[in-house]
Amino acid sequence: MEHGSFEDQSKATFSLTDEDHTLANAVRFTLNQDPRVTFCGYSIPHPSDARVNIRVQTTGEPVSTRHWCGRGCGCGVRVGFGQSDPDTLTEAEKRFGEEKNQFPAT
């Protein structure tokens, strides 16, 4: 879920459920590699709440539709707010689910 302003798309907070430090720190690290990102950080509201809030602030520079992440995550998701390819995300979710099921739950 995204919490942000429609007037200023250079900053937003995303709330991810059923996630923890593992994903949040990877997302934070990857986004901070982009020179257009001025701030990216995350918080976990409470240890018993399986939710992560990720805050992203950018320079406001528009993202070209040809600019793809490709650094670190390898998922091919475009960098920027609201500029992801639904087919790419669906494929990434599918692959994640398949690979996740290969590991036993602890």
Range of the domain at 7: 2-100
CA–CA dist 41, 18 (Å, integer): 18
The model carries a pTM of: 0.55
Domain for residue 105, yes or no? no
User: What's the pLDDT at 54?
Assistant: 92
What pLDDT, in 10s, does the model give residues 36-91? 899 999 999 998 888 999 999 998 876 543 444 444 444 444 444 444 555 666 77
- Does residue 90 sit within a domain? yes
Answer whether residue 29 is part of any domain. yes
Residue 106 within any structural domain of the chain: no
pLDDT at 1: 57
Number of folded domains that form the chain: 1
pLDDT at 60: 83
19 within some domain: yes
What CATH number does the domain containing 96 carry? 3.30.1360
Q: What is the 3-state secondary structure (H, E, C) of the chain?
A: CEEECCCCCCEEEEEEECCCHHHHHHHHHHHHCCCCEEEEEEECCCCCCCEEEEEEEECCCCCCCCCECCCCCCCCCECCCCCCCHHHHHHHHHHHHHHHCCCCCC
